[in-house]
């Protein structure tokens, strides 16, 4: 009987995630890339790349349902991160366990599928690496939060790029684009019950305020903000009673210098 209830709960959770991923299909027009439903013809390894990214996002979200305590909301998807991994604030290099900054296992992202890159190897042999992703993941793990206890997302869920520079660029989403992302952000916060929400930077904070969400605003780690981000997020995390005290990801000297 218990097994039947667990199976039903897992099925219902999977259905909830699938409906949420379906919301991502309708992205704004213009210089916006939708990694889960569009092919990056210049940089994707093949036409199956969007399906791989959907599969990885699905596994990432399902792994955290019912376990998340902390939701961290960034500004927008980046070309070095979710553009190719399919997971916000997560680079291919982290996903594949190839980061030289600290050790993280593929199982820390999800356990049901094998992580794969979707960018062409000639673009970046070890996979793309995103500084923000490395800083955020490394800091949270070093502070003793288990991978399944935090979930990362972006106020604007898709990748806004500079049309003059091409897909391998980032830009701040405009007002109408940010408005288009609000329903997805609302659905995301409804999907994951959480104790605390943290906004990375003022744009993410403003989007959360639009939804009347009470969030801690911390410095975005990009553009010289890493030190202040670490200090501010540490103050928030240290007040949380559920965090692990093992700090199992601080494996060596390099692991603690992110």
Residue 148: which CATH number?
Answer: 3.40.470.10
Q: Is the pLDDT of residue 221 over 70?
A: yes
More confident residue, 75 or 3: 75
Q: Is the pLDDT of residue 2 over 60?
A: no
Domain of 174, in residue numbers: 2-256
The predicted structure's pLDDT at residue 243: 54
Provide the number of structural domains found in the chain: 1
CA dihedral in degrees (198, 204, 210, 213; nearest 10)? -10
Mean pLDDT value across the chain: 88
The predicted structure's pLDDT at residue 239: 84
* pLDDT, tens digit, 9 for 90 and up, residues 128-164: 999 999 999 999 999 999 999 999 999 999 999 999 9
Residue linked to tokens 């309708």: 26
Lowest mean pLDDT: which of 8-12, 41-45, 64-68, 210-214?
A: 8-12
Split at pLDDT 50, 70, 90, the class of 10 is low
The predicted structure's pLDDT at residue 194: 74
The predicted structure's pLDDT at residue 251: 35
Beta carbons of 144 and 247 less than 8 angstroms apart: yes
Lowest mean pLDDT: which of 9-18, 140-149, 156-165, 198-207?
A: 9-18
Q: Is the pLDDT of residue 3 over 50?
A: no
Q: How far is CA 175 from the centre of its chain?
A: 22
The predicted structure's pLDDT at residue 13: 66
Q: Is the pLDDT of residue 258 over 90?
A: no
Split at pLDDT 50, 70, 90, the class of 104 is confident
Average pLDDT over residues 226-249: 77
């Amino acid at each position: 009987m218990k097994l039947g209830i667990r199976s039903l709960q897992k099925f219902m959770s999977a259905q909830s995630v699938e409906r949420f991923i379906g919301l991502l299909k309708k992205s704004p027009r213009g210089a916006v890339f939708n990694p889960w439903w569009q092919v990056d013809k210049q940089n994707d390894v093949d036409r199956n790349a969007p399906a791989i990214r959907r599969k990885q996002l699905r596994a990432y979200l399902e792994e955290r349902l019912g376990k998340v305590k902390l939701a961290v909301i960034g500004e927008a998807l980046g070309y070095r991160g979710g553009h190719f991994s399919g997971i916000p604030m997560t680079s291919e290099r982290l996903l594949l366990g190839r980061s030289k900054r600290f050790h993280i296992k593929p199982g820390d992202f999800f356990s049901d599928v094998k992580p794969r890159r979707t960018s062409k190897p000639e673009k970046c042999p070890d996979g793309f690496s995103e500084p923000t992703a490395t800083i955020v993941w490394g800091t949270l793990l070093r502070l003793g939060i288990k991978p399944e206890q935090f979930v990362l997302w972006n106020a604007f869920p898709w990748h806004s790029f500079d049309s003059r520079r091409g897909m391998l660029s980032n830009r701040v989403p405009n007002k109408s684009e940010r408005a288009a992302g609000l329903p997805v952000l609302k659905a995301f916060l409804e999907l994951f019950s959480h104790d605390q929400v943290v906004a990375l930077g003022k744009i993410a904070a403003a989007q959360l305020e639009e939804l009347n969400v009470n969030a801690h605003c911390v410095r975005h780690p990009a553009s010289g903000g890493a030190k202040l981000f670490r200090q501010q997020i540490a103050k928030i995390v240290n007040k949380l009673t559920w965090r692990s005290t093992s700090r199992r990801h601080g494996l060596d000297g390099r692991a603690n210098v992110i």
